[in-house]
Structure 1
Amino acid sequence: MIQLQTPLPIAFLFLPLLKLMAESLLFSSAESLLGKLASRAFQEASLAFGVHRDLQQMKETMELIRGVLLDAEKKNPQSSALSEWLIQIKRVFSDAEDIVDDFECETLRKHVVNTYGSCSRKVSRFFSSSNPVVYRLRMAHHIQDINTRLTKLASQRSMFDLQVIHKDTRVVHVREMTHSHVNPSNVTGREHDKQEIIKLLLQDDHGQSLSVISIVGMGGLGKTTLAKLVFNDPIIHACFPLRMWVCVSNEFELRNVLIKILNSTPNPTRENFNNFETEQLQIHLRNTLQGQKSLLVLDNVWNEDPTRWDELREIIDVGVEGSKILVTTRSHKVATIMHIKSSNLYLLGCLSEEDSLSLFVKYAFKDGDEMKHPQLLKIGEEIVKKCGGLPLAVKTVGSSLFSKVDEKEWKSVRDNEIWNLEQNEKDILPALKLSYDQLPSYLKPCFASFSLYTKDTSVFGTQVCTLWGALGFLPTPKASESMMDVATQLLHELWSRSFLSEYEDYGGECRFKLHDLVIDLAVYIAKGEFEIIDNHNPKLYKNAHHLRFVENNLLDQALLPSSLRTIIFPRGANNEDFLNTLVSRCKFLRVLNLNFSEYASLPRCIGKLKHLRSLSLMENENLTELPDSICKLQNLETLLLVWCMKLQKLPKGLANLVSLRYLGITTIEPACPEKDIASLTSLEKLGFYRCDNFESLFKEILLPTLKEFSLSDCKSLKTVSFHAIKNLEVLMISNCNKLELSMGLNNQILDLRLKLLILSDLPRLVTLPRWLQGSANSLQSLYIQHCINIYELPDWLPTLNCLQGLSFLYCPNLLSLPDNMHRLTNLKEINVTGSYELWKRYKPDVGQDWHKISHVNLVCNDYQSESEEELTDKS
């Protein structure tokens, strides 16, 4: 493994895996469950079912146990007896949660029957259940069993010398959001490193056509940040006409790497390289590289197989003298197999104590406040020494102390025992674990769920919101708030602790990445609760609640825990026996993700998964039908049928999905089931993708709860009534060639609430629609891309005074921006990638009209703009 020349403290040698770290999530589970038991709705339901007294006993015993859980967390139990006690608590809490949810399901079922059944016997039969007397007796028996187990556990709590702490007093002090792009002024202590890397990139190679420079260092040093500083430097722009950025990560499979490289090059014809064979990919890439001096950044390389590197090098070496590859890696072996000369290997060292302290101050204090608290600053100096000069460690610990002025809290961080634990350089940092420990309980399960995400991928707020909502991690929204609003607030809090990187808030949607070490920490924390099943870890933990399978062949070996809450299937899954077993055995499933699988249909008994909150079937190319029993799932909050190209029809009874918040549809049905959709009174997000037979939408309905609406590739769609969806915050329209963009408003200007608007691949768009003026006091982000016929922007554009981001991507006929752009005082960035006339006119310092927008950052990348593309294509 990597041996850095800069000495590190003992804190960074090896951190042993403690038993069942998921037990640290128990307090948040207890809080959530007690909140449900105390709610008025549940109290009324318990009285109706005749189990009120038994449930009150359960609540009181759980409160006794809850009182000592925070102290158990702090002890970080090494004791096997305490660890086993916490395991038993976890099991009984899990069973109690299932009972509480079961009552909620039964209450909701009765609501559906009472609402719709009076009009239709068919509905009553559809939602028929067992004898209510038998149900009460069965549930009463389960509750008594849980009470017996809880009483026994409560009597044992005194054995472990645990203190009673009823309330989690930890709070998150949120920093103000900053711009997500790398700003050199926000990077501390790396100017010398940047200049050294630039020298290596510009040095004469004496006729060599392709050379490699490698930045090597352990996780958390800031290798990627340094590479970005270099990549965006004007000197590099001038020297390398073609620049490409690829995040390689763990899989160095040739075809995937070729696709990533091509996706980072200019692509004016918008080729979908995912459909290319390897031979086509290498021909296209070599043609792109031919005759151009290029810089290719391969970020986060782990591949140690020289054969795979040789295959790639043969393709990308097209004989252009001076072309370079810049690699970031943690491994010296990676650098060796890529045939790097010793002079081209750059060992990135730790920050100096001075630079570390400067970085710490940025994150721990508001501007200038460090001078008001000299004693805290002195303690901070001691904390910084323990961070060993790693920027990620300095930032996370500094963020955890932001706005705290109690010396005891600072000393507690300085004196925490975790600094004395050993750690291997590839494992998590004590600083990260310490920052996690200081999170309030409601954020801990949210953080643990990050263990299910793959490294080096962009994560959208919608994805997180869907998962957290389904698992009950989100607090109940306040009046006028959506679930997405609540999820965004929690993400913002995690960002404020530096757990999220490259965070971008588009208004109504956000996007971020997770550092490798952050995911490592999440895996460490969630061990035994959230599990990734792959060839390296094929074992299933009997107490696991959340599983993601990586390999299709592993499904044959799995004996599923009946208490499973989440399962994410691997790409290409087609094991019908496994799916049938899952649906029949795991009756408490909350999340079922079958994206990219190959099932032609689903088991009809799926309607019995009454606890299911999220069902995702995206890009199932073989799916032709769905059982109507799906519409029995009254708790379902998310149903995604996006890009299921062979789906003949939607299941009957969509109106019965009374809890549905997020619906995404691809279908070949002739018309939209508008009346059913209008009955979904909880619906917040709706999307139609490749619904080629829809011609009009929302003529006679209203969707007052809808916050986000997406249209993509609906070839026949001509009209959409904006009056039906006027409470939208996010609107995305892509590749709907026949759509009348006035949206039925003509010159009307409604009072709108849009925060984010994306218009893409719309040949009928010649200027911005007038109705957009109605969002003058709310619109934060506006993206216009691949609209080849837009030729002018309206004079009223500068009245959109909340705008923070503007993008005009690949709009070749757009020649100018309106005057008075200086009025947009909140505007931070204008991206004109692919819109070369705009770039020439407004190019910094030299463009004839640059002075009109000199207050904002003008961007023109000659590689595909990843974030906007992903934002448009996401579902």
Structure 2
Amino acid sequence: MWDDALKENGQRWKRFCAPFRSVQEGSVMLVTFRCPTVDEGVRTMDPVILEGLEDDVFWNFSKLCAFRSESSYNNPELECIGRKILPKLKGSPLAAKTLGRMLSMDLQTSHWNSILESELWELSQEETDILPALRLSFMYLSFHLKQCFSFCAVYPKDYKFEKVSLAEIWRAEGFVHPQGGAAILSTSLQYFEDLVARSFFQCVGTRYVIHDLMHDMAQKVSEHDCFILRNKSDFDKVPQSVRHLHVLPSSDFDDSSMLRLCKYTKLRTLICPNYFEKTGIVMGHWCTKLPSIRVISCAFIDELPDSIGNWKHIRYLEISRACTLKRIPSTFCWLYNMQILYSPKLVSTTKLAKFNITWF
């Protein structure tokens, strides 16, 4: 549970608890949190503080992550270096798993020593802060994987990613480069699998999530490029250099709010999963003022504006809700970089209407 659940003078928390007031006697609600303010706002008993794993257990787990086996690879020199790294991980299984995957990529003492001696460990941090360990694992990624993962900071915590959909967006953003004769989407999917193998994503059923601490780290490394708008007051916090923007569902946002996005002229990505527009007026302004857009996702629109032809760089357009487009303007043909037009139910008089996903 995060501290934003206690906003509105605790009304969100009270609304959440309302259905549980008539439960059977003896029922218990277990709340896990990392923010002390949550403890102060919801507890009815003293909290149980979870410490990191004990040294012996933690070493056995870390060794398994680094060597992929229960043995220590019969290399006392690597084991010595590994034990020196151990205290820096604060007993966190997530840190051990992530850093262990990175260590396992190269079982040379020079590689392990470079990690041990990294200046990132010297960053100012709280006693239980493991972000330097996660930041270090990020720094050792190849450039293209850094781009792909840091972009994910534009999505909120606990967002459930679909592998193919995210791979298509990475491709549209220009993060993916051809490798030999492989199809570029196949390369993008391989990027995703590479990040899964390094524990940057975790599989949950048929989708994937990013651990909260990993998400914190992604936000830290992309703080000038990615931003999530939760309400109107967040407009004052958006960096002018922002390139990727996600507008979360909120009753705060109306057409005038959405027009304020026009001042962020470097935007390449605009995700508005709950925004409905019937006239196309707001999008018409976006098309004029935001010339660098490559990816846009909105919930519903009845009419594409004539000015959509200005989006020469757009590659991915998603309309996530079923809608009936009154028309597709002739200027749509000017979008010569368009790769994907997606809608679960697009009804129009044009041939584009026949496809859920259309490749140009």
1:785-804 matched pairs, under 5 angstroms: none
* 550 and 340 in structure 1: CA distance in 2 versus 1, 3 angstrom threshold: same
Aligned-partner Cα distance in 1 for 2:184–2:174: 15
Letter paired with 1:687:
N
Aligned-partner Cα distance in 2 for 1:460–1:471: 17
Tell me the secondary structure at the aligned position of residue 324 of structure 1. Answer: coil
Note if 1:539 corresponds to 2:237.
yes
Tell me the secondary structure at the aligned position of residue 326 of structure 1. Answer: coil
TM-score normalised per structure 1: 0.36
Post-superposition offset of 1:365: 1.1
Q: Structure 1 residue aligned with 2:135, among 433, 446, 449?
A: 433
CA contact (8 A) 1:571 1:597 kept: no
Post-superposition offset of 1:615: 2.9
CA contact (8 A) 1:305 1:337 kept: no
Match of 1:325 in 2: 29
Q: Structure 2 residue aligned with 1:502, among 200, 203, 208?
A: 203
| Cα offsets for 1:551-578 (capped at 9, x unmatched) | 98xxxxxxxxxxxxxxxxx984412883
Match of 1:660 in 2: 338
Tell me the secondary structure at the aligned position of residue 124 of structure 2. Answer: coil
Provide the aligned length of Structure 1 versus Structure 2: 354
Q: Structure 2 residue aligned with 1:491, among 179, 192, 210?
A: 192
1:696-735 matched pairs, under 5 angstroms: none
Match of 1:313 in 2: 17
Match of 1:422 in 2: 124
Note if 1:334 corresponds to 2:35.
no
Letter paired with 2:296:
L
* 517 and 576 in structure 1: CA distance in 2 versus 1, 3 angstrom threshold: closer
Aligned-partner Cα distance in 2 for 1:580–1:383: 45
Tell me the secondary structure at the aligned position of residue 73 of structure 2. Answer: helix
Post-superposition offset of 1:496: 2.1
Post-superposition offset of 1:389: 1.0
Note if 1:529 corresponds to 2:198.
no
Letter paired with 2:237:
K
* 477 and 654 in structure 1: CA distance in 2 versus 1, 3 angstrom threshold: farther
1:112-191 matched pairs, under 5 angstroms: none
Aligned-partner Cα distance in 2 for 1:614–1:412: 38
Post-superposition offset of 1:454: 0.7
Tell me the secondary structure at the aligned position of residue 167 of structure 2. Answer: helix
* 540 and 657 in structure 1: CA distance in 2 versus 1, 3 angstrom threshold: closer
Q: Structure 1 residue aligned with 2:259, among 550, 575, 578?
A: 578
Match of 2:316 in 1: 638
Tell me the secondary structure at the aligned position of residue 527 of structure 1. Answer: coil
Tell me the secondary structure at the aligned position of residue 401 of structure 1. Answer: helix
Percent identity of equivalent pairs: 25
* 413 and 306 in structure 1: CA distance in 2 versus 1, 3 angstrom threshold: same
Post-superposition offset of 1:407: 0.4
Tell me the secondary structure at the aligned position of residue 317 of structure 2. Answer: strand
Tell me the secondary structure at the aligned position of residue 318 of structure 1. Answer: coil
* 548 and 402 in structure 1: CA distance in 2 versus 1, 3 angstrom threshold: same
* 440 and 577 in structure 1: CA distance in 2 versus 1, 3 angstrom threshold: closer
Post-superposition offset of 1:461: 2.5
Tell me the secondary structure at the aligned position of residue 640 of structure 1. Answer: strand
Aligned-partner Cα distance in 1 for 2:248–2:286: 25
* 443 and 503 in structure 1: CA distance in 2 versus 1, 3 angstrom threshold: farther
* 539 and 355 in structure 1: CA distance in 2 versus 1, 3 angstrom threshold: same
CA contact (8 A) 1:428 1:521 kept: no
Aligned-partner Cα distance in 2 for 1:362–1:499: 18
Aligned-partner Cα distance in 2 for 1:371–1:313: 51
Aligned-partner Cα distance in 1 for 2:51–2:67: 26
* 667 and 422 in structure 1: CA distance in 2 versus 1, 3 angstrom threshold: closer
| Cα offsets for 1:94-139 (capped at 9, x unmatched) | xxxxxxxxxxxxxxxxxxxxxxxxxxxxxxxxxxxxxxxxxxxxxx
* 638 and 333 in structure 1: CA distance in 2 versus 1, 3 angstrom threshold: closer
Aligned-partner Cα distance in 2 for 1:332–1:609: 41
CA contact (8 A) 1:616 1:640 kept: yes
Tell me the secondary structure at the aligned position of residue 596 of structure 1. Answer: strand
TM-score normalised per structure 2: 0.81
Aligned-partner Cα distance in 1 for 2:107–2:29: 47
CA contact (8 A) 2:248 2:272 kept: no
| Cα offsets for 1:653-700 (capped at 9, x unmatched) | 65664443322234443x5x33x589xxxxxxx528xxxxxxxxxxxx
Match of 2:329 in 1: 651
CA contact (8 A) 1:590 1:612 kept: yes
| Cα offsets for 1:423-461 (capped at 9, x unmatched) | 136865211111112112222222221221111221222
Aligned-partner Cα distance in 1 for 2:16–2:257: 38
Q: Structure 1 residue aligned with 2:274, among 577, 584, 596?
A: 596
Note if 1:399 corresponds to 2:68.
no
Match of 2:305 in 1: 627
* 447 and 662 in structure 1: CA distance in 2 versus 1, 3 angstrom threshold: same
Post-superposition offset of 1:418: 2.6
CA contact (8 A) 2:90 2:129 kept: no
Match of 1:761 in 2: none
Task: Specify every segment of 5 or more residues in structure 2 that has no aligned partner in the other structure, as ranges.
Answer: none
CA contact (8 A) 1:428 1:520 kept: no
Letter paired with 1:643:
R
Aligned-partner Cα distance in 2 for 1:304–1:642: 30
Aligned-partner Cα distance in 2 for 1:362–1:593: 40
Tell me the secondary structure at the aligned position of residue 181 of structure 2. Answer: coil
Aligned-partner Cα distance in 2 for 1:614–1:544: 14
Rg bigger for which structure? 1
| Cα offsets for 1:841-860 (capped at 9, x unmatched) | xxxxxxxxxxxxxxxxxxxx
Tell me the secondary structure at the aligned position of residue 603 of structure 1. Answer: helix
Letter paired with 2:66:
A
* 580 and 639 in structure 1: CA distance in 2 versus 1, 3 angstrom threshold: same
Over aligned residues, Cα RMSD in angstroms?
3.6
Aligned-partner Cα distance in 2 for 1:374–1:426: 29
Match of 1:465 in 2: 167
Match of 1:385 in 2: 87
Aligned-partner Cα distance in 2 for 1:478–1:608: 38
* 442 and 605 in structure 1: CA distance in 2 versus 1, 3 angstrom threshold: closer
